[in-house]
Structure 1
Amino acid sequence: MTSNIRYTLLNLLLIVALYACSSSEKTSGDGSNRLKDATSPYLIGHADNPVDWYEWGEEALEKARKENKPLIISIGYASCHWCHVMEEETFMDTAVARYMNEHFVSIKVDREERPDLDEIYLNAAQLINGEGGWPLNAFALPSGKPFYAGTYFTTKQWLGMLQNIHDAYQNDFEKIRQQSENLTAEIVKIQSGTQENLEGQVHQKDLLEGLKDSLIQGYDRQFGGVKGAPKFPMPLHWEFLLQQAYLDKDKQVASAVEHTLDQMAAAGIYDQLGGGFCRYATDRAWDVPHFEKMLYDNGMLVSLYAHAFQYSQMESYRQVLEETLRWVAREMTHAEGGFYSSKNADSEGEEGKFYVWDRKAIEEALTAEEYAVLSQYYDLQIPGKGEHGRIILAKKKAVKPGRLEGNTLVESAKTKLFNLRSKRIHPSTDDKILTSWNALMMKGYIDAYMAMGTRAYLDAALKNAEFIEKNMRTTGGGLYRNYRKGKAGHQGFLDDYAYLADAYLSLYQATFDIQWLHKAEALVEQLDAYFADDASPFYRFAPVQKTSLVESVPLADQVLPSPNAVVARVKHQLGELLYKENYILEAAEMMKAMIPRMQQGGSFYSSWAYLANMQYRGLHAVAIVGDDAPVLQGQLQRHYLPTAIFAGGATENLPLLESKYHKGQTVIYVCKNKICKRPTTEVSDALGILLFNNY
């Protein structure tokens, strides 16, 4: 950020700090505003505000231009605790609403429906304050260019902010305009994918070793995960490190991954009764979660635990998978197979109330014997770390993974507590269905099926794919972003296409049903048409034909994997299966352009590192041909093989499968660079080739 931006922002912050208290009053919100017709539960939750909210669109922007008023862009999501607090305390306040309605044009945005807008204003907040979050509240010119942004404000702070920004807009507009130009220029640099002084190349082996070492240096050796607090699961980090441990036969790195997974599964961040992971923990030991549960976190964590189960065969990972997927099926699944977005952190106006316990309630619910045994494994005797000192169920740190599994008294105690908890008022569900997040959970189900062979998991993935094909396709065959109550809306973004192509590629490998491979390829062709940049090997986040205030080229991993990294991995794998050299070359070109960035910020490029291992070590293409292909396929896929891709069936319907059918036999070919080893009918022989030749 330039010094001029810092100076101007400092002045604005000082002005806001001088604000004196104004009178206000609450309203019951008997009326409703135009958000009542929105598709987002988050927006609908603001429909009874006295604020004259708009959704993002030309109507709001034109009003701001015509009346020369600054925009307020307020962004959040349905399971966001502090979003609800600000809505109830501030946006229901009539004095606040009158001032907003008179002097501003106010826009509400669901960050999950419009990640393109969220990225712009989140970057503005991070440039100004060094951090961002939600609720995210930005002030912008009628063009949409931001000049200030922050997160949560009390009612007093917010009204003071409004008054001082209005005064500055009226009396010092040139300074506001220049600040907006400078801030937008900085955002363009961040989102364009360009970076200065990126020179030099490094051998991929050295690059991968460096990334591994960087992540291990940040590893918390006591509690697992990344050092410090708050603590996020970061599944992309551990996926890369597990892959690296397998390829290098590095037991120390594997131990770091397993320790992290064990600690998370034992702690309060994991719902010990109902399954599923919360978004993050506020403490270093994972015990005090922020209680919202996000679909995308759980989709990626299901994949991670499935891969860890394949690698280690630890039964505790099987339990995590089974419990988490039971929760998804029970609470997060639409009748027709779509997956909902999130569970709120709050119930009855209090964060975590659904999940925490009083010790007396636990004692009364259990027999003396059940309580005695449960207290050997869980911290029930000490005051809890939750709100008002209540207990958050977490296993004692000395309890070894897997020790509880099969203990009938522990299981009966947990069942009683789960049934008792089920009678409480549940946190609300954000029941909108997002294509990209559904693809991550679909892939999680597929990975769990491959790891354990549970047919119900594959059925859930197939039903989800059918839901998407029926409800999330545009008339032109593209993708919608979101769906709720029979209505789809918002044109899909790059992550919708990339993640779904990746999920369909996995669905093909699990079923050998060629339609899913064709659908994955079609999505790649569509994203080439909609998102490609002729001047770059990378893809824009928003469709080319969709006008955007600031173009975004997402290269780094955030909580979600870089869509560009996912595109590159899918192209590389499709190229190997379909013998399409152009896909392989395009993926290689993307990786080549990424290497300098990866050298400078390895912790943000785990998805790229995962692909780099496939390219550097070489991808094994495993062809299984014959009537018993599904049987041998299942036996092979129980193993952790992160640099292998599968094709097969009873017919030679792919270039990789041509001339490989042997009547009366089912044979396995392990191929690399289109050169195949001698065919075998034994899974053990194929595994021997894969495990021996993994460099």
Structure 2
Amino acid sequence: MKKVLFFILVLTAALSCKKKSDEVSHKHTNDLIHETSPYLLQHAHNPVNWEAWHPEVLERAQKEDKLLLISIGYAACHWCHVMEKECFEDEQVAQVMNDNFINIKIDREERPDVDQIYMDAIQMISGQGGWPLNIVALPDGRPFWGATYVPKDNWIKSLEQLAELYKKDKPRVTQYASDLANGLHAINLVENEKDSELYSLEQLDASIHNWTQYFDTFLGGHKRAPKFMMPNNWDFLLHYATATNNPDIMDFVDTTLTRIAYGGVYDHVGGGFSRYAVDVKWHVPHFEKMLYDNGQLTSLYAKAYAVTKNDLYKDVVNETVAFVKEELLDQSGGFYSSLDADSLDENGKLEEGAYYVWTKEELTQLLGNDYEVFQEYYNINSYGHWEDENYVLIRDKSDKEIAEKFQIPVPELKAKINTDLTLLKKERNKRPRPRLDDKILTSWNGLMLKGLVDAYRYLGEEEYLDLALKNAAFIQREMIREDYSLYRNHKEGKSTINAFLDDYATVIDAYLSLYEATFDEKWLDLSKNLLDYSIKHFQDEESGMFFYTSDKDRSLIRRTIEIDDNVISSSNSMMAINLFKMHKIYPEETYGAASKQMLKNVQKDFDKRAQGFSNWLHLVLFENQNFYEIAVLGENYKSMGQELAKAYVPNSILVGSAKDGHLELLKNRTVPGKTLTYVCIEGACKLPVASAERALEQL
């Protein structure tokens, strides 16, 4: 069978469209009008008869023996908008689609379970993938063709050929789909490696050495473009550098975090991070701003500040939290998902990055006498130029270097730059804003909650704890059912889709971290109950791993087992770490053995591709080095706990109480009139000490 695949990487013409008001009457309306996802609602007035992914739609396809055309994207996706404009808003295209297919639109952020399977399929077919992800599948959902962006004429031609092929040679198409489905199952298998020895520190050192050949030691990150921030990579390497006292790795982490913070991927005017840079120097971003990046990077920079006391990292944390609070916080306490890459430019055209870029003329007019220093600081020159007349702000020198050049004190320079940025932000606020994806996703809120807890823990700002507690209460109120099952999504007071493993993994982690920061056992109890629910409904008894979907959900082509750490850590690596930490608090449970088995199952891949398993590698350090349970008891347990928490000690768990509690670590340890800290390993404790400083000396 001839497979037709079209992949266009770059468009030469910018998308042009006029903003429509809510009052405009629409010529077409399809079933997506009943959905809450902003991405699906963007397509609700296409002439294509789109439907959402629902069981009854799939059942109808099989009854009618009609091919499925499944198109997957997300609200902040630039190329999704391009294909919508060129194809899905076109009536000629719509007629071909409506006549020959049952057309399903999917928000990949709401339904990552479906997206994972079809992304694997297109990568098996073509060797590459991306969004929009367009799949043609048999009526039962088995795929046999896929493409990303396709221009209108090629799209029509491809769909007509595929529909004709299915009519004339159904057995051949079915056989190809069957073979592909078998391949999708095969690449998802994880075997139970019961007899394996745990990965050793020597093996870990060797795998890190192999990884270093990809390090860009000058500009940070990996030697490639585009450059993604990959928070779990640098988070692990920060842990590894401090745990093994490796100054070279620490220097690389420091270089990477500094270059990212200097780069255009960081919004110097409004705070927060874009998704990735298209170049090697972190300069020109793909301008969409995602909650999951900002949550993880808040955690990472807070930890890096705890290690280095670098004020740059502290500023990044403060400004990122300020951005999330201003742009993504719902009044309910939940956080929205993203801001679009595109916004309207001064001519009313939808352009990527229009909201964020500056011309030299604008800056000289706005800044006046301050322009000379500002242009040096943010490279309004060939280094900072993007395209046309536009510049993306990027640093490449420290405050000290700039201050020396202009012979002014560093505090004066910083005050001047901050005044300039405030002025630019005020001016930027007059521009049309990027579109907001205001759905609330559980897993991304879990990541942001963890970020806020870490920001509070390492910077000590009470405001961050207040934000964290409001978000934690929102998740408890709106996303957790009575049986401790979770919802995936929430919008306008409604939670609908059943949660996936990453939703559980991130919230378990965030609640456990919130317990460490507050010693409020409500959060620990919630974390444990969610963990126990996950074990019951997600765990594969044969391998010991966790499926991405619950046993209560309708079966897809396969139940995915996600193990690779990508921009977001894999749900299984997060669960394995959750199990390991919970074992330290609840040693009577089987959590520890389960975590160790999960690590054994995946460690064979660490040697050649450590960066793809970086979150798993924390467990290698945990298992091979001392891991400390730190228990604080006495009247001043909260203040003592805060002092302990400020230190970066990733190989530890913190518990505390005013008096003896039901947790094993808190039993029979209270001494009247004293606040004492016990440093323990597997429940065996050193002599208690009366100060945080002395406790940290015992580690």
Asked if Structure 1 and Structure 2 have the same fold, meaning a TM-score greater than 0.5 normalized by the shorter chain, the answer is yes
What residue in structure 2 maps to residue 142 of structure 1?
A: 139
Residue 73 of structure 1: SS of its match in structure 2? Answer: strand
Summarize the alignment of residues 415-494 of structure 1 with structure 2, pairs less than 5 Å apart: 415-494=422-501
Deviation at 1:88, TM superposition (A): 1.4
Q: Does 1:591 align with 2:599?
A: yes
Summarize the alignment of residues 364-379 of structure 1 with structure 2, pairs less than 5 Å apart: 364-368=365-369, 370-379=370-379
What residue in structure 1 maps to residue 13 of structure 2?
A: none
Q: Does 1:655 align with 2:649?
A: no
Summarize the alignment of residues 203-222 of structure 1 with structure 2, pairs less than 5 Å apart: 203-222=199-218
> 2:544·2:594 contact (CA, 8 Å) conserved in 1?
yes
What residue in structure 1 maps to residue 676 of structure 2?
A: 667
Residue 57 of structure 2: SS of its match in structure 1? Answer: helix
Query: What residue identity is the alignment partner of 2:357?
Result: V
Q: Does 1:610 align with 2:618?
A: yes
Residue 13 of structure 1: SS of its match in structure 2? Answer: coil
Summarize the alignment of residues 267-278 of structure 1 with structure 2, pairs less than 5 Å apart: 267-278=263-274
Aligned counterparts of 2:669 and 2:7: Cα–Cα separation in 1 = 73
What residue in structure 1 maps to residue 175 of structure 2?
A: 178
What residue in structure 2 maps to residue 22 of structure 1?
A: none
Residue 483 of structure 1: SS of its match in structure 2? Answer: strand
1:543-600 alpha-carbon deviations (Å, 9 max, x no partner)? 0122222110111112211111111111111111123352111111211222223235
Deviation at 1:651, TM superposition (A): 2.2
My pick for the range that moved more, 203-212 or 509-518, is 203-212
My pick for the range that moved more, 28-37 or 355-364, is 28-37
Aligned counterparts of 2:392 and 2:199: Cα–Cα separation in 1 = 47
Aligned counterparts of 1:103 and 1:273: Cα–Cα separation in 2 = 49
Aligned counterparts of 2:233 and 2:326: Cα–Cα separation in 1 = 29
> 1:279·1:293 contact (CA, 8 Å) conserved in 2?
yes
1:593-622 alpha-carbon deviations (Å, 9 max, x no partner)? 222232353221111101221121121011
Deviation at 1:414, TM superposition (A): 0.9
Change (3 A) 1:383 1:617: closer
Deviation at 1:649, TM superposition (A): 2.0
Deviation at 1:452, TM superposition (A): 0.7
1:292-314 alpha-carbon deviations (Å, 9 max, x no partner)? 01111111111110110011010
Q: Does 1:122 align with 2:131?
A: no
> 1:212·1:244 contact (CA, 8 Å) conserved in 2?
no
What residue in structure 2 maps to residue 327 of structure 1?
A: 323
Change (3 A) 1:280 1:603: same
State which of 266, 286, 289 in structure 1 corresponds to 2:262: 266
Residue 214 of structure 1: SS of its match in structure 2? Answer: helix
Deviation at 1:111, TM superposition (A): 0.3
> 1:16·1:157 contact (CA, 8 Å) conserved in 2?
no
What residue in structure 1 maps to residue 14 of structure 2?
A: none
My pick for the range that moved more, 198-207 or 570-579, is 198-207
Query: What residue identity is the alignment partner of 2:690?
Result: T
What residue in structure 2 maps to residue 392 of structure 1?
A: 392
Aligned counterparts of 1:109 and 1:627: Cα–Cα separation in 2 = 53
Change (3 A) 1:381 1:543: same
> 1:446·1:461 contact (CA, 8 Å) conserved in 2?
yes
1:425-477 alpha-carbon deviations (Å, 9 max, x no partner)? 11011010000110000000000111011011111111001001111123543
> 2:298·2:320 contact (CA, 8 Å) conserved in 1?
yes
Aligned counterparts of 1:582 and 1:494: Cα–Cα separation in 2 = 19
Change (3 A) 1:512 1:230: same
Query: What residue identity is the alignment partner of 1:579?
Result: P
Deviation at 1:191, TM superposition (A): 2.4
Q: Does 1:63 align with 2:60?
A: yes
Aligned counterparts of 2:55 and 2:125: Cα–Cα separation in 1 = 27
Deviation at 1:42, TM superposition (A): 0.2
Residue 133 of structure 1: SS of its match in structure 2? Answer: coil
Q: Does 1:233 align with 2:229?
A: yes
Aligned counterparts of 2:163 and 2:439: Cα–Cα separation in 1 = 36
State which of 660, 663, 682 in structure 1 corresponds to 2:691: 682
Summarize the alignment of residues 430-579 of structure 1 with structure 2, pairs less than 5 Å apart: 430-546=437-553, 547-579=555-587
Structure showing greater relative contact order (alpha-carbon pairs closer than 8 Å, 6 or more residues apart): 2
Aligned counterparts of 1:164 and 1:193: Cα–Cα separation in 2 = 37
1:643-680 alpha-carbon deviations (Å, 9 max, x no partner)? 01100021222210112111111111111121111111
Summarize the alignment of residues 73-92 of structure 1 with structure 2, pairs less than 5 Å apart: 73-92=70-89
Aligned counterparts of 1:657 and 1:314: Cα–Cα separation in 2 = 36
Aligned counterparts of 1:114 and 1:633: Cα–Cα separation in 2 = 39
1:126-154 alpha-carbon deviations (Å, 9 max, x no partner)? 11111111000000000000001111111
Deviation at 1:84, TM superposition (A): 0.8
What is the TM-score normalised by the length of structure 2?
Answer: 0.93
What is the TM-score normalised by the length of structure 1?
Answer: 0.93
Residue 143 of structure 1: SS of its match in structure 2? Answer: coil
Deviation at 1:361, TM superposition (A): 0.6
Change (3 A) 1:629 1:598: same
Unmatched segments (≥5 aa) in structure 1: 1-7, 18-25, 691-695
Aligned counterparts of 1:89 and 1:193: Cα–Cα separation in 2 = 41
> 2:138·2:144 contact (CA, 8 Å) conserved in 1?
yes
1:258-289 alpha-carbon deviations (Å, 9 max, x no partner)? 10000000010100111111100000001010
Change (3 A) 1:417 1:530: same
Query: What residue identity is the alignment partner of 1:250?
Result: N
Summarize the alignment of residues 128-167 of structure 1 with structure 2, pairs less than 5 Å apart: 128-167=125-164
Query: What residue identity is the alignment partner of 1:396?
Result: D
Change (3 A) 1:14 1:367: closer
Residue 490 of structure 1: SS of its match in structure 2? Answer: coil
Aligned counterparts of 1:103 and 1:324: Cα–Cα separation in 2 = 47
Aligned counterparts of 1:470 and 1:638: Cα–Cα separation in 2 = 30
What residue in structure 2 maps to residue 632 of structure 1?
A: 640
Change (3 A) 1:158 1:427: same
Aligned counterparts of 2:419 and 2:607: Cα–Cα separation in 1 = 51
Query: What residue identity is the alignment partner of 1:392?
Result: V
Change (3 A) 1:680 1:150: same
Deviation at 1:15, TM superposition (A): 11
Q: Does 1:93 align with 2:84?
A: no
My pick for the range that moved more, 385-394 or 560-569, is 385-394
1:519-566 alpha-carbon deviations (Å, 9 max, x no partner)? 111001100111011211101000012222211011111221111111
Q: Does 1:360 align with 2:361?
A: yes
1:187-237 alpha-carbon deviations (Å, 9 max, x no partner)? 111223359x99965642123212322332211112100111000001111
Unmatched segments (≥5 aa) in structure 2: 9-16, 19-24, 345-349, 404-409
My pick for the range that moved more, 519-528 or 380-389, is 380-389
Query: What residue identity is the alignment partner of 1:605?
Result: F
Deviation at 1:379, TM superposition (A): 0.9
Q: Does 1:48 align with 2:45?
A: yes
My pick for the range that moved more, 577-586 or 462-471, is 577-586
Query: What residue identity is the alignment partner of 2:366?
Result: A
Q: How many residues align?
A: 671
Percent identity of paired positions between Structure 1 and Structure 2: 39
